[in-house]
Amino acid sequence: MKIRLDTSFAALSDPTRRGVLEQLGRADASITELAERFHMTLTGMKKHVGILEQAGLVITEKIGRVRTCRLGPRRLEEETAWLEAYRQRWDQRFDELDRVVEELTRKENGDERRNGT
């Protein structure tokens, strides 16, 4: 699972690759169309698509001389579960911090009343 997470997050770490996924979420596109849309060379876009394909996020199919890209079958469930676990941990830590701040505030307000300030 760790290798799969590493591959997915590495693929998603680049804004161009995230943009490609967004674009393919709207419609399939050829590598040439993607390269034009993102103002890059065909070679550069092939590398980006290859990384997305390796992560299982994109599938390419050659039809004649055109290589068409579409979203892959991966739905990122493992990645979402991993992120959710960390989100829950952070929520717990912030809840604990809120309790400490509330307790300190109550004590401070109590001390001010006793001191007559």
Q: Distance (Å, rounded) from C-alpha 113 to C-alpha 110? A: 5
Predicted local confidence at residue 107, as pLDDT: 85
Q: In DSSP terms, which residues pair with 79 in a beta bridge?
A: none
Would you say 83 and 54 are in contact if contact means Cβ atoms under 8 Å apart? no
The model's pTM is: 0.74
Q: Which CATH architecture has domain 2-71?
A: Orthogonal Bundle (1.10)
Domain ranges of the chain: 2-71, 75-117
Would you say 4 and 75 are in contact if contact means Cβ atoms under 8 Å apart? no
**pLDDT tens digits, one per residue of 17-75:** 999 999 999 999 999 999 999 999 999 999 999 999 999 999 999 989 999 999 998 87
Predicted local confidence at residue 56, as pLDDT: 93
